[in-house]
Amino acid sequence: MNSLPRIEISLTKIYENAKTLVDLYCGKNISIMGVTKVVLGEPSIAQSICNGGVEFLADSRIDNIIKMKNSGVIAKFVLLRTTKNDAKTIVQNVDISLNTEIETLEELSKQATKYNIVHKVIIMVELGDLREGVMPYDVIKFIKKVNRMTHIKIIGLGCNLACFAGVKPDRRNMNQLTQLVDMIEKKFNISMKVITGGNSSNYNWFQSNHDVGAINNLRLGESIFLGLEPLYRKRIFGLHTDAFRLFGEVVESKLKPSIPTGNLAQNGFGEKPLFLDRGMETRVIIALGRQDVDTPNLKLTNEIEILGSSSDHLIINPKKHIFKIGDEVEFGLNYSGLLTAMTSPFVKKVFNN
């Protein structure tokens, strides 16, 4: 029998999602970076993405990139979040890094000079979502400074939206990126090769705008893995939404009161849950807790109600379903569920076709 808890991963579905997205975005000359951070740079998954026609693999962690390279995955590797203290490892292992700080770039330049490498960078600009990015009015000054670094080559400009504040990519902010590109190219008489306009959330903008301006690249994680656009979490036509499935084991099933007995204070997680008196009800416990997966964000594929969770126990109301001790229960995963389940050492990763 298969061990529990486990996440079953369909490499074929990931490959098909990557291929469908490459074909779709290619229609407006947009190339794809497959973002592997949510799967910790798992080499077999990275390879499936490459087999789908993706030429860049991007990750926020250098360790994940090194893992993919050591396993023989061949792609252009992009580092999404650049840390000054890893500069040496970065110039030695990464083809392109995304950058927003002169101090970090100076260190990259120093290390690149030492190892006689020309390190390629994409400068990220802040267009409203308030995560990473150089302010647009500072970008000229910023690029002037980077141009003086002999072993750093700026190959593009980018932005990231819908991650922190939830700002939607739209015609206005995407045009702003195009205008910045035009201005920089004229001012410095250079041509920037990679204009990376965003992530999976750029899907609706892409579909509703014929003219994508200077944007010729997107960095996709969620849509490849979960088949969704993240703004409204709608399925993208033709994509699989079940490439990852989580399974847990039933460890208890009993008829119990629906309200607690005794005086109430905070629970183990600093919360004060509310209880409705529904009389006696069946309560089933699954051996799946917050140390395995972000339980409050689990999606049930059947009509089952999640009552709550602690470190190692998930309590559900099984409604019409009947569960026996030792049974497997299947859960769907959203982005947060996928991220945490992949990161937990307790969840076995099982690769299927």
Ligand X SMILES: *Cc1c(COP(=O)(O)O)cnc(C)c1O
Which residues fall within 8 angstroms of residue 154, CB to CB, at 6 or more apart? Answer: 120, 121, 122, 123, 143, 146, 147, 190, 192
Exactly one of 219, 240, 283, 290 binds ligand X (CB under 6 A); which one? 219
Cβ-based neighbour number of residue 129 at 10 Å: 21
Beta bridge partners of 352: 10
- Applying the rule CB under 6 A, the residues between 36 and 55 that interact with ligand X are 37
Residue matched to tokens 């996928």: 338
Which residue's CB is nearer to ligand X, number 99 or number 309?
99
Q: How far is CA 10 from CA 173, 281, 330, 350, in A?
A: 36, 36, 15, 9
Q: How far is the CB of 17 from ligand X (least distance, A)?
A: 12
Q: How far is the CB of 252 from ligand X (least distance, A)?
A: 36
Which residue's CB is nearer to ligand X, number 33 or number 284?
33
Q: How far is the CB of 250 from ligand X (least distance, A)?
A: 32
- Applying the rule CB under 6 A, the residues between 192 and 211 that interact with ligand X are 199-201
Which residue's CB is nearer to ligand X, number 117 or number 231?
231
- How far out from the chain centre does Cα 125 lie? 20
Exactly one of 17, 64, 160, 309 binds ligand X (CB under 6 A); which one? 160
What is the pattern of x (binds ligand X, CB under 6 A) and - over residues 59-88? -x-------------------x--------
Q: How far is the CB of 58 from ligand X (least distance, A)?
A: 7
- Candidate segments 43-51, 114-122, 171-179, 215-223, binder of ligand X by CB under 6 A: 215-223
The two structure tokens encoding residue 96: 């392109």
Integer Cα distance of 109 and 105 in angstroms:
6
Given the residues 28, 37, 76, 88, the one annotated as active site: 37
Residue matched to tokens 């015609």: 171
Which residue's CB is nearer to ligand X, number 120 or number 219?
219
Please indicate whether residue 28 is annotated as part of the active site: no
Q: How far is the CB of 131 from ligand X (least distance, A)?
A: 8
Q: How far is the CB of 163 from ligand X (least distance, A)?
A: 7
Exposed/middle/buried for 134, CB within 10 Å: 0-12, 13-18, 19+? Answer: buried
Exactly one of 220, 250, 316, 342 binds ligand X (CB under 6 A); which one? 220
The DSSP-derived string for 232-252 is: TTEEPTT--S-SEEEEEEEEE
- Candidate segments 102-110, 135-143, 216-224, 238-246, binder of ligand X by CB under 6 A: 216-224
Binders of ligand X: how many residues, by CB under 6 A? 13
221: contact with ligand X by CB under 6 A = yes
- Candidate segments 8-16, 24-32, 68-76, 219-227, binder of ligand X by CB under 6 A: 219-227
Exactly one of 14, 21, 35, 342 binds ligand X (CB under 6 A); which one? 35
- How far out from the chain centre does Cα 187 lie? 35
Query: Which ranges constitute the DSSP H helices of the chain?
Result: 11-26, 43-51, 62-70, 87-93, 102-114, 139-147, 171-188, 203-208, 222-226, 335-343
Q: How far is the CB of 115 from ligand X (least distance, A)?
A: 26
Among 134, 115, 139, 116, residue whose Cα is nearest residue 124: 134
Integer Cα distance of 334 and 277 in angstroms:
30
Exactly one of 16, 129, 222, 294 binds ligand X (CB under 6 A); which one? 222
Active-site residue list = 37
Residues in the site for ligand X, rule: CB under 6 A? 35, 37, 60, 80, 160, 199-201, 219-222, 230
